Structure 1
Amino acid sequence: MAKGDRKRALRGRAGRMQGGRGSGRASTGQVRLWGRHAVEAALKNPARVHRKLWATREGIDSLDGELPPDFPVEFADGPDLARLVARDAPHQGLVLECAPLEDMHLDEVLSGDPARPLVVLDQVTDPHNAGAILRSAAAFNACAIVTQDRHAPPESGVVAKSASGALEIVPWVRVVNLARALESAAEAGYWRIGLAGEAEATLAEALPAGPVALVLGAEGEGMRANIAAHCDALARLPISDAMESLNVSNAAAIALYAITTR
């Protein structure tokens, strides 16, 4: 049996192929993803509308699944693909151009399973951190991440690569007013815990038995005062005095583990 015969069909919806070779920039309103995990997850996500896939033969063979027969694919060499993505980005022979995911509303996630934590990010603007937090959110079954539209990275190939497929799994809710979103979370029964190095209580001491909204601020500045004021409790991770703080994505992973195993 040929290798391709053993693969499942990829569920992605192909958009109509337009134009020829890529210009090195995504088309207006499109997102360009790269790397096997990010591209494969996007192809398997039925909510994605795909425009075009650039790939090496090896890249296609690495996919867990088969593309629809009419999927718009253009085969290219590795150096050609490198011109389509961010400098030195590890594309792994796959570059996918697709439409961004549709907006998700906060009410849609707050009405879900209350046992799943909600992750709220205040001014975490680095796309690598946002992607890593998405990956941890998927690993520890968070219901969504919530960010303020003006203080968060856009959906991008860097976020998707750092998320290693989690961008397609974890809902990302973008809101205009983060404080108001925290008020809505409280009304839905979530206990809002903000991570802050100066807090007296540790996270283990502050964790309740019920639903949790974990609030994290940007590295260095931390949470804004107004966001901290909208938390029910502030808590710290019990790290050694030898280190001042943790990277926000590492802190998110540890906190989500603690919430999951309380």
Structure 2
Amino acid sequence: MARGPRSSASPSRGQPEGRPYGQAHGTAQAAGQTSSQTVKLCGFHAVRARLRAAADTITEVWVEPSRKDQRIKALVDELQKAGISVKTADMARLDGLAAGQRHQGVVAVAQARQLVDDLPTLLEQLEDQPASNRFLLFLDGVTDPHNLGAIMRTSDAAGVAAVVAPKDHSAPLNDVVMRVAAGGADRVPYIQVTNLSRAIEQVQDAGYQVYGLDGDAEQSLYKADLRGSLVLVMGAEGDGIRRLVKSHCDALYKLPMKGGVESLNVSVATGVACFEALRQRS
């Protein structure tokens, strides 16, 4: 995602910082104050996705005043039609709000959405759903928030009901994840459990088949039946699934590969696996 054009540190003429977008008068406010109950959404995809999914959770939006292109105008128009106040902040302030993330000249503060956050409740909710909806993704040792964000985006597109990961040695659901997920983390629950092996036993007791992706497996994933109640387990790039977690899986499969590379990035491998599951389940 390309970063928006950089301007000087001072706001453009006629658009004082902290004032309503498109107006020259108003009272400046402190930008982007957040709490543990809010998240920052950086960039067009993340802001637009939340706007369309849950506009009422957006509390404030800040844009860089020198941007006058159609893309920013269209977004501001959507926000204002939804009754959301849009204010300006110079690029230096936006950089600070985004804490190093690419923001393309737009940052929003929104309330954290309340999705199911424990595995027993999730399984209970899925009991009466058709089998095509009972599709979960377990992550073992995925610590990079960029990878998690990409996986959350893929999960939403592929019909995954929830992503489950251990509380330790896993990426948190932070602002970076929210940006990269481009709305996926707003719709797909991310559940962290104390013990991933025990969580596998829980889903197996609920009738799910648990298949791990492992580069040393003998069978190709394309030979597996991925219909019905399903859990796919993905391990961290390089280390893969831990031995104990692997031993709890009902079967192990690999992605067939050519060339000299030893493995794929975990988010890429997850995309391949999830969309093969979607193909079979459609």
Q: Which TM-score bucket, shorter chain as reference?
A: 0.7 to 0.9
| Residue equivalent to 2:98 | 85
Kindly provide the CA deviation profile for residues 23-67 of structure 1, in whole angstroms up to 9, marking residues without a partner as x. 7x7445432221111112223333974443222355752327334
What is the SS of the residue equivalent to 2:78? coil
| Residue equivalent to 1:101 | 113
RMSD, aligned α-carbons: 2.5
Q: Which among 241, 255, 264 is matched to residue 237 of structure 1? A: 255
- Distance apart, 1:191 and its partner CA: 0.8
| Residue equivalent to 1:39 | 47
Q: Give the TM-score taking structure 2 as reference length.
A: 0.76
| Residue equivalent to 2:25 | none
- Distance apart, 1:235 and its partner CA: 0.6
Larger Rg: 2
Distance 1:70 1:120 in 2: 38
| Residue equivalent to 1:146 | 164
- Distance apart, 1:208 and its partner CA: 4.6
CA contact (8 A) 1:121 1:147 kept: yes
| Residue equivalent to 1:115 | 132
Q: Does 1:196 align with 2:214?
A: yes
CA contact (8 A) 1:100 1:155 kept: no
What is the SS of the residue equivalent to 1:83? helix
What is the SS of the residue equivalent to 1:260? helix
Q: Give the TM-score taking structure 1 as reference length.
A: 0.82
Q: Which among 127, 150, 158 is matched to residue 176 of structure 2? A: 158
- Distance apart, 1:69 and its partner CA: 7.2
46-55 or 249-258: which moved more? 46-55
Kindly provide the CA deviation profile for residues 2-29 of structure 1, in whole angstroms up to 9, marking residues without a partner as x. xxxxxxxxxxxxxxxxx93237x74454
| Residue equivalent to 2:153 | 135
CA contact (8 A) 1:36 1:62 kept: no
What is the SS of the residue equivalent to 1:95? strand
Paired residue type of 1:21: A
Paired residue type of 2:112: P
| Residue equivalent to 1:206 | 224
CA contact (8 A) 2:204 2:210 kept: yes
- Distance apart, 1:188 and its partner CA: 2.1
Cα gap change, 1:210/1:103 in structure 2, threshold over 3 Å: closer, same or farther? closer
Kindly provide the CA deviation profile for residues 134-185 of structure 1, in whole angstroms up to 9, marking residues without a partner as x. 1111111111111112232222221112112211122222222222221121
Distance 1:209 1:42 in 2: 31
Cα gap change, 1:209/1:168 in structure 2, threshold over 3 Å: closer, same or farther? closer
| Residue equivalent to 2:31 | 22
Kindly provide the CA deviation profile for residues 101-154 of structure 1, in whole angstroms up to 9, marking residues without a partner as x. 335222344314421321110111100100111111111111111111223222
Distance 1:167 1:67 in 2: 24
142-151 or 60-69: which moved more? 60-69
Distance 2:130 2:223 in 1: 23
215-224 or 40-49: which moved more? 40-49
| Residue equivalent to 2:73 | 61
What is the SS of the residue equivalent to 1:223? coil
What percentage of aligned pairs have identical amino acids? 37
What is the SS of the residue equivalent to 2:132? coil
Distance 1:26 1:123 in 2: 29
Distance 1:172 1:249 in 2: 15
CA contact (8 A) 1:48 1:100 kept: no
Paired residue type of 1:82: D
Gapped regions of structure 2 (runs ≥ 5): 1-27
Distance 1:55 1:106 in 2: 38
